[in-house]
Amino acid sequence: MGGITNEELLRKAAILLDSLAAGGKLNPKQSNRFIDYVIEETILKDNARIERFTNESLQIDKIGVGRRVMVPHNEAQDPGIRRGVSTSQVTLTPKAVMVPFEIGDLFKQRNIEGENVSDHVVKMMAKAFANNWEELYINGDTVGAAILESDYMDGGDSSRYRKDSLMALFDGWFRLADGGNLFDAEGANVGLSVFGGMIRKMPTKFRRNKKDLRFFISSDLASLYFEKLATRSTPLGDAAAGGSAHAPFGIPLVEVPLLDLLPPIVQHVTLNGTTAAALRYGPISSVVVTKSTLDTAPEDAYTETTDYVVDYTAGTVARSGGGSAIGDGETVKVTFKANPQIVLTHYQNFISAINTAISIEKDRAIYKKVDQYAIHASIACEFEEDEALVKGINIGSSI
């Protein structure tokens, strides 16, 4: 996705502070324009279903048929069999989010745009909202990863950890994909063998129309794949070297900029004695072990070797021998990096929901001489059909 100029940003967001409805709630036209802008800024555009809703939750009806509806027929005879459809629902329960910020009088006075800078800052915050929304529906995990407080807020502690409460709001697509079909690449580097293996793992009925399928892949992993292709003395290699898009086996690659090459993973595990507990993936890297009750108050992490030991190749963690601060039978939070991952699914299988009751509220802090703002929204994400996706795991990251 290309960049967006300030002029385009102002035009597309089109939410001027002096035109807001009473109480800061956007009118329907403004709300839809805001949502359109947010979608434009993420990989959602052309790669997912966007559901706009007004209720507290959203139910999406699913309808399907059995494996076979056709039966043999003999002349003038009732086959005695009737086929029907199966119905079910996907329920999304959106979570409330907010973007709080302030604009000081001195900043407005010294800025070249003067009073107009407030409108500009609001649009910038709307763009940041889009980035954070994308990060959440990609990397969300309700277990809540441990992150350095300094990575969460300016001036935070750079050696102590807190729970990433934003990413813990709901499970994102790459976490939800664990409930689909898994293809273990067993360390094989990204290439046609990985893409082919993932396709074969997809149930046949969902892979008939390849033009509607997508490989969702991190930008770094896609770059490695293109670099591999570029080493070939073929037209395909020349195209890859020139940056041309490639569709393995006719299925387009969609680069996901906010998906890390080595995705962040978190899970709670119970450590008994010194027996190694297997993590969800392996190999792993960048392991941090904290109390499972970690919340918003910063805490020290446990110490590797002293409190626990890790087998990075096997993807296991265990209590150390005598002297470990981790109690026998204690459940801990393990945050780590896994090998690259790819999701293969129908582009309409991704569901992203946002409530149209969006507000941008403004208040005045007279003693601080600042204008205070808050963008309020409710969002959620889900898959329509778990069976219609394949998650590729343990993919190598070398050429």
Give the pLDDT of residue 5.
45
Give the pLDDT of residue 397.
86
Q: Which of 68-77, 226-235, 338-347, 355-364 has the highest mean pLDDT?
A: 338-347
At residue 37 the predicted structure's pLDDT band, cuts being 50, 70 and 90, is confident
Give the pLDDT of residue 13.
40
Give the pLDDT of residue 123.
75
Q: Which of 47-61, 63-77, 145-159, 220-234 has the highest mean pLDDT?
A: 145-159
Give the pLDDT of residue 42.
80
CATH 1.10.3470, domain 8-57+92-170+351-386, yes or no: no
How deeply is 302 buried, as exposed, middle or buried, from its count of CB atoms within 10 A (0-12, 13-18, 19+)?
A: buried
Give the pLDDT of residue 391.
98
At residue 205 the predicted structure's pLDDT band, cuts being 50, 70 and 90, is confident
Give the pLDDT of residue 115.
60
At residue 111 the predicted structure's pLDDT band, cuts being 50, 70 and 90, is low
Give the pLDDT of residue 21.
40
Give the pLDDT of residue 4.
43
pTM for the whole structure: 0.81
Give the pLDDT of residue 277.
97
318 pLDDT more than 70: yes
212 pLDDT more than 80: yes
At residue 19 the predicted structure's pLDDT band, cuts being 50, 70 and 90, is very low
241-276 pLDDT, tens digit each: 444 457 899 999 999 989 999 999 999 999 999 999
Query: In whole numbers, what is the pLDDT of the chain averaged over residues?
Result: 84
Give the pLDDT of residue 136.
93
In SS3 terms, 325-382 reads as CCCCCEEEEEEEEECCCEEEEEHHHEEEEEECCCEEEEEEECCCCEEEEEEEEEEEEE
Domain boundaries defined on the chain: 8-57+92-170+351-386, 264-338
Say which residue, 354 or 74, is predicted with more confidence: 354
